[in-house]
A and B are shown apart, each in its own frame.
Chain A
Amino acid sequence: MLSKELVAASTVPLVLSVLTEGECYGYALIQRIKELSGGRIQWTEGMLYPVLHWMEKEGMIASEWRESESGRKRKYYRLKTEGRTALLEEQQQWLTVHETLKKLWQLPRST
């Protein structure tokens, strides 16, 4: 399980990344993250919606109510150009942290 702080920091890049696979609605988005993380990333599911609405307000994503094949109405989100730019930025930052930690942790222990 991720810490609260890490969940808060990673939600936006995770959402943006899932949306690069195509448009998606809230429930399916969470299922996709669960599946990819092997259930290790779990959100308080309702808290995703304030984040999605904030991202929409910031112009990263757009939404649309539509009926799914099953006849249920769902709000679909898709990536906008601003979202792609934001994702590139996020990628840079996460990779920097990731690579630095990786190098540090791969160093032979000097004890």
Chain B
Amino acid sequence: MATPPFDLNLAIHQWRRRFTQATPVRGDSIDEMEAHLRDSVAALQRQSLTQEEAFLVASRRMGPSDTITAELAKVHPGDVRRNRAGWMLAGVFVFILITDFASLVSGMTVLLGNLWSIDGLRLGWLGVVASGLALTAAALAIFSVVFGRKSSNTAVSDRWLAKPAFLTTALLGTVIALKLAGGAIPILLARQMSPTGLGGVYTVLGWGGLVAQVLFLAALALVFVRLASQLVAPTRSLAPLILVALLVSQGAEPRVEAQTTTPQAAETKSSQRATLDQAMKLWQAVGKGFKHSFLK
């Protein structure tokens, strides 16, 4: 069997990866060293080495990636911190994206279900199931990315991960779009449904959705616990904080649509309105409690 021909670009790509694995260094530094490596390879080839031999000698002369990155990290200590913080923020965006996507899916389901004039409480449950399915799909996707055996097409994922600014902006844009789209749903629903029906939908959706999100967080916590032993020190100490921050961000914004977006809500049956009020008060209490205990 013939050995595959040597691919310099692929070899350099793999060489670059070694510099980002242990201690992340800024892409600029790696670009600079890649330029050096390519110069070195070209010069060695002129001395009648094959491209593969030239690459081996040149990368050997560059030295061990872990020592170099450790030295670079000493010169740019802020880089490592900023890099970590950046990826954590991206993680927060992904989380918000997933939960917003789930509420959008459940809202759309409710809107669709309303076309068949299903009653409010059942519609609410339908929405909860849809949101649960969306969150389950997201949890499974996270599991497969984190614990999956085969590293599928690393070149593609590398190309994406190499542009964190673009990736994060895209994530943020999608999050905002999802939020805007999600905000339209209660208004549409309020136009189409009776106040009683609407109250039913949001009572069920508020609590069912909460349960679905807590289950989703539990799945994330499971991923985290399994990963915890593999994380390096600074990340491990920061990760629980991130989880708390997420809980706060989720708990601190009670869903007020049911009360504020419908002028007809005043006509809601008093018993149902009492339920809604209680639910709202609890939400707000939970939000305040989180704010009080974690943000001070």
Assess A46 versus B32: contact at CB under 8 Å? Given A53-B72, A53-B75, A72-B38.
no
Nearest Cβ on chain B to A109's Cβ, whole angstroms: 41
Query: Which residues of chain B from 38 to 71 have any CB-CB distance to chain A below 8 Å in the complex?
Result: 38-40, 61-65, 67-68, 71
Nearest Cβ on chain B to A49's Cβ, whole angstroms: 6
* Total interface residues in chain B, CB < 8 Å: 21
Please pick, from A44, A53, A75, the residue contacting B76 in the complex, using a CB distance under 8 A. A53
A57 interface residue, CB < 8 Å from B? yes
The reply to whether B40 and A73 form a contact with Cβ atoms under 8 Å apart is no
Task: Give complex CA distance A47, B63 in Å.
Answer: 7
Which residue from chain B places its CB closest to the CB of A52 in the assembled complex? B32
Which residue from chain B places its CB closest to the CB of A31 in the assembled complex? B43
Contacts of A26 in B (CB 8 A): 32-33, 35-36
Contacts of A44 in B (CB 8 A): 61-64, 67
Please pick, from A27, A47, A53, A57, the residue contacting B35 in the complex, using a CB distance under 8 A. A27
Binary contact track B137-159/A, C-beta < 8 Å → 1, others 0:
00000000000000000000000
Assess A75 versus B71: contact at CB under 8 Å? Given A45-B40, A47-B63, A49-B29.
no
Binary contact track B14-47/A, C-beta < 8 Å → 1, others 0:
0000000000000001011101101110000000
* Total interface residues in chain A, CB < 8 Å: 17
Which residue from chain A places its CB closest to the CB of B34 in the assembled complex? A73
A50 interface residue, CB < 8 Å from B? yes
Task: Give complex CA distance A30, B62 in Å.
Answer: 11
Please pick, from B35, B36, B64, B72, the residue contacting A50 in the complex, using a CB distance under 8 A. B72
The reply to whether B67 and A27 form a contact with Cβ atoms under 8 Å apart is no
B74 interface residue, CB < 8 Å from A? yes
Which residue from chain A places its CB closest to the CB of B30 in the assembled complex? A49
Assess A47 versus B40: contact at CB under 8 Å? Given A72-B35, A74-B35.
no
- The dominant DSSP class at the A interface is helix
- The dominant DSSP class at the B interface is helix
Task: Give complex CA distance A40, B33 in Å.
Answer: 23
A54 interface residue, CB < 8 Å from B? yes
The reply to whether B75 and A57 form a contact with Cβ atoms under 8 Å apart is yes
Nearest Cβ on chain B to A82's Cβ, whole angstroms: 17
Which residue from chain A places its CB closest to the CB of B29 in the assembled complex? A49
Query: Which residues of chain A from 63 to 88 have any CB-CB distance to chain B below 8 Å in the complex?
Result: 72-75
Nearest Cβ on chain A to B101's Cβ, whole angstroms: 40
Which residue from chain A places its CB closest to the CB of B36 in the assembled complex? A27
Nearest Cβ on chain A to B35's Cβ, whole angstroms: 5
Contacts of B38 in A (CB 8 A): 72
The reply to whether B31 and A53 form a contact with Cβ atoms under 8 Å apart is no
The reply to whether A49 and B32 form a contact with Cβ atoms under 8 Å apart is yes
Which residue from chain A places its CB closest to the CB of B63 in the assembled complex? A44
Task: Give complex CA distance A82, B19 in Å.
Answer: 31
A46-B65, A50-B68, A53-B75 are known; give 14 further A-B pairs, CB within 8 A: A25-B36, A27-B39, A44-B63, A45-B36, A45-B61, A47-B63, A49-B68, A50-B72, A50-B75, A53-B76, A72-B35, A72-B38, A72-B39, A75-B32
Q: List 30 A-B contacts (CB under 8 A).
A: A25-B35, A25-B36, A26-B32, A26-B33, A26-B35, A26-B36, A27-B36, A27-B39, A27-B40, A44-B61, A44-B63, A44-B64, A44-B67, A45-B36, A46-B36, A46-B63, A47-B63, A47-B68, A49-B68, A50-B68, A50-B71, A50-B75, A53-B72, A53-B75, A57-B75, A72-B39, A74-B32, A74-B35, A75-B32, A75-B35
